[in-house]
Amino acid sequence: MSTTARVADDVGNFLDERVGASKGVKFLFRKIFPDHWSFMLGEVALYSFIILLLTGVFLTFFYVPSVGRTTYDGVYTPLAGQTVSEAYASTLRLSFDVRGGMLMRQIHHWSALIFVAAITVHMFRVFFTGAFRKPRELNWVIGTILALLAIVEGFAGYSLPDDLLSGTGLRIASSIILAVPVVGSYLSFFTFGGQFPGEAFIPRLYTVHVLVLPGIFLALITAHLILLVVQKHTQYPGPGRTNQNVVGYPLYPVYTAKAGGFFFIVFGVTALMGALFTINPVWMYGSYDPSPVTAGSQPDWYMGWLDGAVRLTPGLFEFTALGFTFSFNIIIPAMIVPGLITMAMLFYPWIEQWATGDRREHHLLDRPRNAPTRTGLGVMSITFYLLLLISGGNDIIASQLHLSINDITNTLRLLGLVLPPVAFVVTKRICLGLQRKDREKVLHGRETGTIYRTETGEFFEVHAPMDDVSRWKLVGYEPIRPLEPLPAYDEHGVRRHGSRLDGLRRRISRFYFEDRVEPVTPAELDAAHEEHEALPAHEEEERGAVTASTSTPVGGD
């Protein structure tokens, strides 16, 4: 036995006799994970979080969470002699005087932007493929909470350097708190320890940023991953992939190498960002002072949609009644809209489940085109979100493109109401169109590019029939049809529990599944083949795919 093997043996024995490691290895190491690039998006977020922890710890060694006044005497001469806060001075010190400090701060900030961006696209993937369906609703909820907390955590980090941009952002935050009905001013005074900006807030925010939120993150991410292992990963539909299996590669060694390697790739790319691109040049902004402000006062991108919503809401929503101020110009965009969006996100899995009436486990993902209404809703939401995000940068767009900021704002107000429904309809139509194309392909085969000329001078292209494996991708989904609730009263005239909502449920179900294109059945394919033999090629194009139109008879009612 070689030395290495003996050492491995001893270590293994040591661990097994104390923690029963062999059972863990048996359970975990050969677990199968399916391979797809879109399954790595969540990992980008996870690894960004680890990078944030590592670089963040470095920053805490030098950052001073205090707004005590001090005179700046560091190397950045354009600030020499100015009265600044300790927090700001220490941010400059760690950027200019600590070797590698500038790089670490920039990696930390880039990583924060990438973190939230990766969470966002990960959520898109989960949503559009239906990965949130039973049994994964809880993980969707955890993920949603993580996404929201990531925004809060990012904003906290953005606010800590106590530069002009940080302070302007905090002033806006304090104004949102002030706008809370009845208790707003009390909440604001408790949060800031008195009047804005106060001396209490930066130290408090620091604790939240480096302790409270990262702690919650660690707990929720752990739960997220445990559920992932317990429930096993979803997989895309395909030959050999069923709802009862998972096809892919084992955790050890393939995924250890791939996922472990991917951590280094993410860290490397983030380091390159920090090396090449300046982010948040705090030295240019100066220490926070409530009197100055800069053109283009923006939050980081993930807060942009909220800022955009605030920009679009006209002032007429504020009014005074009974001697009290109702700031609906702030309450609507900063509380009601985000609140509703959060609720919609949290409860979406159950909304869809209610519409399908489907209580089975789903481990096979949907191709987005095969869930046209869901995909349409998703694109509609993203459109709305993007318009808000664009509004958050309306001044930058105006100054870079030399447009009128008033025109941009008014246009976005209009588009915010009009474009999302349009996006829904268009996306749904595109999905249905793609499904029809899939049907065509299955029924008439794949175009070979070989053109024949008949003796009468007509041309036709030879279509090669699809083999079983490639056909499966196009036909292997379940058509979902609108629900038809049972009669509200049974034969004894007793009302069925929950039947009062039948009407709503039927409407929602129809909204989802009335328009649909069903997969080709073996019988249809068989019929098409017979036809191929019987008919000249050119007549085939008249045939459309089956679309169950809204006029499809629905029984009952």
Identify residues 506-545 at the interface with other proteins (CB under 8 A). Answer: 518-524, 526-528, 531, 542-543
Residue from 15, 138, 269, 346 binding other proteins (CB under 8 A): 269
What is the x/- site pattern for other proteins, positions 372-391, by CB under 8 A? --------------------
Six-digit token string for 289? 């002072």
Residue from 8, 28, 225, 272 binding other proteins (CB under 8 A): 272
Task: Please report, as a single letter, which amino acid is at residue 106.
Answer: Q
Instruction: Choose one: 3-11, 141-149, 160-168, 346-354; the region binding other proteins (CB under 8 A).
Output: 160-168
Number of residues that bind other proteins (CB under 8 A): 197
| Min CB(292)–other proteins separation in Å | 4
When the beta carbons of 331 and 424 are compared against other proteins, the nearer one is: 331
Helices (H), 160-212: 164-178, 184-192, 201-207
| Min CB(492)–other proteins separation in Å | 25
Identify residues 480-499 at the interface with other proteins (CB under 8 A). Answer: 481-484
When the beta carbons of 106 and 370 are compared against other proteins, the nearer one is: 106
Six-digit token string for 397? 């767009």
Asked if residue 92 lies in contact with residue 195, where contact means CB atoms within 8 angstroms, the answer is: no
Asked if residue 101 lies in contact with residue 95, where contact means CB atoms within 8 angstroms, the answer is: yes
Q: Which is it for strands 69-71 and 83-85: parallel, antiparallel or unpaired?
A: antiparallel
Task: Please report, as a single letter, which amino acid is at residue 540.
Answer: E
**Rounded to whole angstroms, how far apart are CA atoms 490 and 293?**
69
Upper half-sphere CA count for residue 126 (Cβ side, 13 Å): 26
What is the x/- site pattern for other proteins, positions 224-243, by CB under 8 A? ------xxx------xxxxx
121 binds other proteins (CB under 8 A): yes
Task: Please report, as a single letter, which amino acid is at residue 520.
Answer: V
**Rounded to whole angstroms, how far apart are CA atoms 203 and 88?**
13
Residue from 9, 10, 17, 361 binding other proteins (CB under 8 A): 361
| Min CB(537)–other proteins separation in Å | 14
| Min CB(375)–other proteins separation in Å | 20
| Min CB(511)–other proteins separation in Å | 15
Six-digit token string for 445? 């085969």
Identify residues 42-101 at the interface with other proteins (CB under 8 A). Answer: 44, 67, 69, 73-75, 77-82, 95-97, 99-100
**Rounded to whole angstroms, how far apart are CA atoms 144 and 130?**
15
Asked if residue 83 lies in contact with residue 71, where contact means CB atoms within 8 angstroms, the answer is: yes
Tell me if residue 531 falls in helix, strand or coil.
helix
Identify residues 449-478 at the interface with other proteins (CB under 8 A). Answer: 468-469, 471-472, 475-476
Which residue bears the tokens 């096993």? Answer: 232
157 binds other proteins (CB under 8 A): no
Six-digit token string for 417? 């109401």
List of long-range contacts for 459-462, beta carbons under 8 Å, 24+ apart:
460/536, 460/537, 460/538, 461/537
Residue from 28, 57, 183, 211 binding other proteins (CB under 8 A): 183
What is the x/- site pattern for other proteins, positions 284-323, by CB under 8 A? xxx-xxxxxxxxxxxxxxx-x--x--xxxxxxxxxxx--x
When the beta carbons of 304 and 378 are compared against other proteins, the nearer one is: 304
Residue from 221, 335, 398, 434 binding other proteins (CB under 8 A): 398
Tell me if residue 342 falls in helix, strand or coil.
helix
415 binds other proteins (CB under 8 A): no
